[in-house]
């Protein structure tokens, strides 16, 4: 989660002293529906409203951003948990593909020949051009065209090979119970305070925990208020 664009944007805001939160839905292929995004936003409203109120008062958490993760079934969340960053990353492997097979990389390099020449000149033996990314199941494939020279300088020829980088989702085994991914798997909204370097500092945990408790308590009070007023009216 550390490498997500949502966190990158929140960190950029934090660098300039702007209070920031990052909200992400634990999207799963063939499971997540369009309506889940609305449910995820609805689930985060207590935190968003609390943050806006505190920002207006000048009492919002300082020196950190809040990375909020919503489980894949946001309409059935169990609650909120203050968490730590898991440090999880997908497994990566490289697979060779047929050189005769047209690829997005080949198309890209064909339309940008001058760029291809510049890339080829960057090294004596090889250079690579990043190409298209495709997602299939739980695998994210990135095709890369490698352009290299073979043989002696006098008989130089261009040899092209295509490789595909596959990012495979690992099983989340051995994760601590207080990590964000574990909380998401268990159906909780994870709230992870991070400093500008993307780290969780001990001195941030306590005030973040107090803030989260206050935000959740305030929301419960708001929900209970109409019921209390109705009970008084009935009496």
Which of the four pLDDT bands, split at 50, 70 and 90, describes residue 122? very low
Q: What does the domain layout of the chain look like in residue ranges?
A: 5-87+172-225, 91-168
What mean pLDDT comes out for the span 59-84?
93
Q: What is the pLDDT of residue 211?
A: 95
How is residue 33 written in tokens?
């529906």
To the nearest whole percent, how much of the chain has pLDDT over 70? Answer: 61
Average pLDDT over residues 173-181: 77
pLDDT of residue 197: 84
Contact 64, 204 (CB under 8 A): yes
Spatial distance between the Cα atoms of 95 and 143, rounded to a whole number of angstroms: 9
Residue 123 has what pLDDT?
40
Instruction: Flag whether pLDDT at 55 surpasses 70.
Output: yes
* CA nearest to 167, candidates 200, 144, 139, 142: 139
Does the domain at residues 5-87+172-225 carry the CATH identifier 3.40.1210.10?
yes
Mean of the pLDDT values across residues 7-20?
92
- What is the pTM for the complete model shown? 0.62
Q: Please name the helix (run of DSSP H) or strand (run of DSSP E) that holds residue 181, with its range, or none.
A: helix 180-185
Q: How far is CA 102 from CA 114, 127, 138, 167, 218, in A?
A: 20, 19, 23, 21, 58
Band of pLDDT at residue 124, cut at 50, 70 and 90: very low
């Amino acid at each position: 989660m550390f490498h997500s664009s949502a966190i990158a944007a929140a960190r950029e805001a934090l660098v300039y002293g702007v209070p920031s939160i990052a909200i992400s839905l634990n999207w799963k292929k063939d499971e997540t529906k369009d309506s889940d995004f609305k449910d995820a936003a609805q689930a985060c409203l207590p935190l968003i409203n609390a943050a806006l109120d505190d920002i207006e008062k000048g009492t919002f958490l300082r020196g950190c951003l809040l990375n909020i993760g919503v489980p894949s079934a946001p309409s059935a969340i169990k609650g909120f948990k203050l968490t730590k960053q898991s440090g999880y990353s997908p497994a990566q492997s490289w697979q060779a593909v047929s050189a005769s097979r047209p690829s997005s990389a080949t198309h890209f390099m064909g339309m940008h020949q001058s760029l291809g020449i510049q890339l080829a000149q960057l090294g004596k033996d090889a250079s690579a051009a990043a190409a298209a990314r495709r997602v299939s199941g739980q695998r994210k494939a990135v095709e890369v065209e490698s352009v290299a020279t073979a043989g002696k300088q006098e008989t130089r020829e261009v040899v092209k090979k295509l490789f595909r980088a596959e990012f495979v989702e690992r099983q989340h085994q051995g994760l601590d119970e207080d990590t964000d991914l574990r909380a998401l798997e268990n159906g909780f909204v994870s709230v992870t305070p991070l400093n500008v370097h993307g780290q969780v500092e001990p001195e941030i945990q306590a005030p973040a925990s107090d803030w989260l408790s206050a935000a959740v308590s305030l929301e419960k009070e708001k929900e209970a208020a109409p019921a209390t007023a109705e009970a008084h009216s009935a009496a």
